[in-house]
Amino acid sequence: MVTSLYSLEVEKLSWPKGDTFLTFLQHYNINNKLYFDLEKEDKELCSEIRAGARYYLTKNENNELVQVLIEVSEEMQLQIYKDDDGYKFTTVPIVFDEVVETVTIPITLSPYQDILNQTSNSELANEFIRAYSGSVNFKYMRKNDKIIIKYRQKVRMGQYHGTPEIISSVVQIRKKKYFIFKNEDDGRYYNDKGKSLTSYFFKVPLTYSRISSRFTKKRWHPVLKRYRAHLGIDYAAPRGRAIYSAANGRIIFRGRKGGYGNVIKIAHKNGYVTLYAHQSRFKSGLKRGSRVRKGQLIGYVGTTGVSTGPHLHFGLYKNGRAIDPSRIIRVTKTKLKGTAKKKFLKYTKSLAQELMEKKDEPTQKVLNLKKIESKSILKSKA
C-alpha cells in the first residue's frame, strides 16, 4: 500500500473553516463508523484539527481517497488510509528536518520588517517581538543598530514548519545590549541577569480530585503498537464542580467541539490560548467576545463529548502550538535563584559570547529551504 503511494500525486491543502473530521469523512463517502469506533483520546485529537491546518491528500485514478495526513500539532498527524479491508485510522509522528541558524540584522526599517526581509520567516519576526515585549522599546532603535538571533526552526517539505524557538538573542540600541535567553528547564525567556521576561502565568482552573491523564505529544503505546498523544491535562472532579478562567482573557469559542463536547476557548496575552472541555454547562451570560478575569467562573465539570467520567480536559496553546500546562502553571517566580540561577548563568555566558562574535558578520540570507533535504510525508503505518 505504502509503496504504491509514491507513484500518486500528493495534494497539499488547507483545512477549511467550519469543517470537522466528520464532515471530511462524509465528503469522501467514508462511513462515520470510522470515527465513532475510535478510542476517547483519538476522538479528542480529531477535535484538535483547526482551520488553516495543513493536510496532505492522495487519491487514485477513480478520485477515491487513498490516504490523508492531517496535522493536529507540530509533531503529530492523523492518518486515514485505505487497504483491502476498507479505511483505517491511526496517528503518526510528523517527519521534519530541524536546523539551527544565527542571523545578524542591521536595522533599516523596523525589527519586524527587517527580520521578515532577511529570513522570509514571519513566525520568527512575530516570536522575536513577543519575546522582547515589555522589556525593550523598539522606538528608540536607529538605523544600523543591530539585532542578532540564534534560533531553532523545523522545516518540512521545503517549507518552514511550526513556530521557531529563539535560543538566544541580543538587541543593540545605541551601543547598549539587551539579551534574552530561553531557559530549557521551564520554557521561559530570561535576561542575562536571570530575571524572567515572561511574567505571565496561569492558575489551576478548578479544585480537582486527581490528574487522570497527563500531557504527552507522542507516546509509543506498547500494546496498540502505535503512537498516542494527549494534548492537555485531564483533571478528575465531580460533575458540576466549578471551572474558572486560568488567566485574564477574551472568549474566542463557546460551543460544541467534536469529542471535546462543550468547550470554551480563551485567548490571553503573549499568544496563549486555554481550552476547557467536556463541560456540563456554561456560566450564563458568557459568549464569544466576552472578557473574563483570572479566577472568574466560566462553567461546570461534566462528561459531554467523549468522556469516561466527569473531568475537565484543560489545554494550553502558545502561538497555536500545544504545550504542557503543568510547565507554565507551576512557574510563577520572576527571578531565578540559587542553583537554578548558577546553572542558567553558566549556560548563557557562552551563548552571549557566541552572539557577540556574530555582530560584525556580513548580512546574508539564511535557511535556503530548497537546499534542505526534507523527508517524504508519505509514511507507513508501521
Mean pLDDT across 230-258: 95
Sheet holding 159-173, edge to edge: 97-106, 146-156, 159-173, 176-182, 189-190
Distance CA 45, CA 260 (A): 9
Q: What is the pLDDT of residues 26-50, one digit of tens each?
A: 999 999 999 999 988 889 899 999 8
Render 108-160 in DSSP notation, one character per residue. Answer: SS-HHHHHHHHH--HHHHHHHHHHTTTT--GGG--TT-EEEEEEEEEEETTEE
pLDDT value, residue 156: 84
Whether pLDDT at 247 is above 60? yes
- Among 58, 54, 47, 90, smallest CA distance to 259 is for 47
pLDDT value, residue 337: 85
Whether pLDDT at 374 is above 80? no
Provide the 10 A C-beta neighbour count for residue 21: 26
The angle subtended at Cα 95 by Cα 90 and Cα 100, nearest 5°, is 150
Q: What is the pLDDT of residues 104-136, one digit of tens each?
A: 999 999 999 999 998 889 999 999 998 887 788
**C-beta of residue 247 within 8 angstroms of C-beta of residue 200:** yes
Provide the 10 A C-beta neighbour count for residue 80: 21
Q: Phi/psi zone of residue 366: left (φ > 0), alpha (ψ -120 to 50 degrees), beta?
A: beta
Q: What is the pLDDT of residues 213-238, one digit of tens each?
A: 899 887 766 666 777 788 999 999 99
Whether pLDDT at 344 is above 80? yes
What percentage of the chain reaches a pLDDT higher than 90?
A: 49
Mean pLDDT across 237-265: 95
Burial of 219 (0-12, 13-18, 19+ CB in 10 A): exposed
Distance CA 189, CA 174 (A): 23
Whether pLDDT at 19 is above 50? yes
pLDDT value, residue 36: 93
For all residues of the chain together, what is the average pLDDT?
86
pLDDT value, residue 381: 38
- Grid cell in block for residue 344: 542558567
**Is the Cα torsion angle 308, 312, 316, 317 positive or negative in sign?**
positive
Residues found in the chain: 382
Mean pLDDT across 157-166: 86
Render 173-188 in DSSP notation, one character per residue. Answer: ETTEEEEEEE-TTTS-
Torsion of CA 306, 307, 313, 319, to 10 degrees: -20
Q: Using pLDDT thresholds of 50, 70 and 90, give the confidence band for residue 199.
A: low
pLDDT value, residue 375: 44
Distance CA 362, CA 220 (A): 45
**C-beta of residue 166 within 8 angstroms of C-beta of residue 128:** yes
**C-beta of residue 219 within 8 angstroms of C-beta of residue 272:** no
In the chain, how long is the greatest CA-to-CA distance?
A: 68
What 3-state DSSP class applies to 131? helix
Provide the 10 A C-beta neighbour count for residue 284: 6
Q: Phi/psi zone of residue 48: left (φ > 0), alpha (ψ -120 to 50 degrees), beta?
A: alpha
pLDDT value, residue 377: 45
Note the helical H segments in 171-301: none
Whether pLDDT at 16 is above 70? yes
Please give the domain boundaries of the chain with CATH numbers for all domains. 2-93 (3.10.450.350), 97-199+334-371 (3.10.450.350), 210-329 (2.70.70.10)
- Among 201, 239, 221, smallest CA distance to 326 is for 201
Burial of 352 (0-12, 13-18, 19+ CB in 10 A): middle
pTM equals 0.75
**C-beta of residue 40 within 8 angstroms of C-beta of residue 307:** yes
- Among 258, 377, 199, 235, smallest CA distance to 313 is for 235
Distance CA 192, CA 228 (A): 38
